[in-house]
Structure 1
């Protein structure tokens, strides 16, 4: 499916140069990954009878079944989940140059969020949040049925995508809707939606969509202000491209492209990273945090922009973001990235 994303402010060269030459301080980034000598605990087998709270299939997994030290620092999926694994030393894909050229080697990296509310908002709830009915009208057979614990005032993404993202750390579940709208009685309608077990990271069935074109979760790949302020993003990010092929690679489970399978257009789930050779010391502290994450964890192709533009990095809105500062990311171009090796491309 094609998504129409929002770019907050048009990129201009003069503004980029002004912002980049402002002389932001450099700083020392914290260590990355697990401490030396640490092994990733074995991921427990998912309980077949475990389902999201409020569903007929059962209740959420017992929090004690997955120790908290097996989760990433942000509590989103186990440490060995694809979202939380480093790829800074992973081999480069043989077709990296072709993929990058298709996505736009000269195009700028775009922060598709701002201080005014544009981007991918989310809400965090506790285990006491009331479940409400959710009806799906677009892809009901590929959507996880309601109810979902969505607050009355849950933020809805501005624009036609209208994502709703709800994180319940207490119960260990993530709930996501695409093209969502609230009814007067507090129930919700959406094109499609998915529930994600934060403790196991279980994927979608093959060729199933989610609230994302790639069949992947949205929230784990979103730049969040709290992480940037804390000085470290310990997970991969997500971005949208101008066009994609009719295929996907792990960890994606779905494709929504128009290019031929096996073409130079990227498949959904393709992972790219910012090259180590790119000097990020001239960027502000906050932008360095984002760029370092792109060097260490990279980002997944997860959506289509619905335009000729690529490299639209996803982030959550926050009033403390600076639009001028976000624009400096445009000094990074497509050619500054490389594609890491991937598995078999599956057809949609």
Structure 2
């Protein structure tokens, strides 16, 4: 992912780069972490209004026609490879193996709460002239846990939940500087009692982009330690897939960074676990944390938020391994899910922003392989 304008001049370059980066974050084995993340301090991961797609059950909703084909395409991604004898570069198709990863260390959002005990006044500094929507400025200081340290190795994902102000802040490429300072390159503000998504880029281009490739909140759909301990998750989960559809998306997504087939699973799609999938579950003792995830995937489903090298769910960074491990759901496959009927397919870039010469407008925001799946 790179924070830069979407312009005609960079379209060709970013297309090739997007293919090369399409593996970003899908597996926690991609890159070695260099910075220890602070343990999550969130009390709850339930956000947004009761009518939000993050909080509404989908068990009884109709299935999308062509669901199986979409999910098959979602496992496929193109990767850039160097040709023999220095003959340049080409692309190869790679198909994700069976298994659903659950990131809790690398490519996992660090989610902390503002206020409370043992906090420091953390200076929040934008490293660019433009760090997000002009109408939504992040406070110059936030009362954060003293150990809050985003990991720059994985796009510096940081979300701050400020329940007193009723908002959540998403930060992209955040990093801890000397002293009590965190700098960042992009930020977006979300109302905790709002719908949990933005309007399509054609309607509101300034707010459409976000820390996720779909424009959706970074902290939405994240599995929290408290939920795992309680054995109950009452919201949809966030999921990334390798072959995210390019050029099209559905709400609640507001943009897309997909590079897969246009007929693949689009950003914003909602998928649910088939009841028959539990029959392939390995026999033996199951943990309450695993059971909670499976029940949530069946009742609330998962919303497609980005792309990654393997199908990936997200737990808060620092979630203890005794509660959840990356390979917890290695027996599951995308074929164990079905797509809920899709709303209207939308285009990114939208037709009203494209001229014969190319993209007619400029949108400054994170762009590219930031799935960090």
Asked if Structure 1 and Structure 2 have the same fold, meaning a TM-score greater than 0.5 normalized by the shorter chain, the answer is yes
Change (3 A) 1:276 1:102: same
CA contact (8 A) 2:152 2:174 kept: no
CA contact (8 A) 1:138 1:190 kept: no
Q: Please identify which structure carries the higher strand content.
A: 2
Q: Distance in 1 between matches of 2:27 and 2:225?
A: 18
Change (3 A) 1:139 1:346: farther
**Alignment match, 2:304:** 301
Q: Distance in 1 between matches of 2:217 and 2:132?
A: 17
Q: Distance in 2 between matches of 1:295 and 1:168?
A: 30
Matches within 5 A, 1:259-274: 259=260, 263-274=262-273
Matches within 5 A, 1:23-38: none
Q: Secondary structure at the match of 1:257?
A: coil
Matches within 5 A, 1:1-348: 1=1, 4-5=24-25, 7-8=27-28, 75-104=46-75, 107-114=98-105, 119-126=108-115, 130=121, 132-135=123-126, 137=128, 140-142=131-133, 144-147=136-139, 149=142, 151=144, 153-157=147-151, 159-184=153-178, 186-201=180-195, 203-207=197-201, 208-244=208-244, 245-259=246-260, 263-279=262-278, 282=283, 283-305=286-308, 307=309, 309=310, 311-318=311-318, 320-322=320-322, 326-348=326-348
Q: Secondary structure at the match of 2:126?
A: strand
Q: Secondary structure at the match of 2:275?
A: coil
Q: Distance in 1 between matches of 2:323 and 2:122?
A: 36
Q: Deviations over 1:98-154 (max 9, x none)?
A: 11101238631111225xx77222111228974734315496354743226263532
Q: Distance in 2 between matches of 1:139 and 1:6?
A: 29
Query: TM-score normalised to the size of structure 1?
Result: 0.71
CA contact (8 A) 1:241 1:303 kept: yes
CA contact (8 A) 1:85 1:235 kept: yes
Q: Deviations over 1:46-101 (max 9, x none)?
A: xxxxxxxxxxxxxxxxxxxxxxxxxxx85511111110000011111112111110
Change (3 A) 1:324 1:220: closer
**Alignment match, 2:369:** none
Q: Structure 1 unaligned runs (5+)?
A: 11-72
- Cα RMSD, aligned residues only: 2.9
Change (3 A) 1:85 1:202: closer
CA contact (8 A) 2:55 2:300 kept: yes
Q: Deviations over 1:227-255 (max 9, x none)?
A: 01112100001111113222221111111
Query: TM-score normalised to the size of structure 2?
Result: 0.67
Count residues with an aligned counterpart: 279
Q: Distance in 2 between matches of 1:231 and 1:290?
A: 8
Q: Secondary structure at the match of 1:98?
A: helix
CA contact (8 A) 1:132 1:146 kept: no
Q: Deviations over 1:154-205 (max 9, x none)?
A: 2314633210111112221111111112333644432322111102236334
CA contact (8 A) 1:120 1:157 kept: no
Q: Distance in 1 between matches of 2:151 and 2:239?
A: 16
Q: Distance in 2 between matches of 1:88 and 1:139?
A: 42
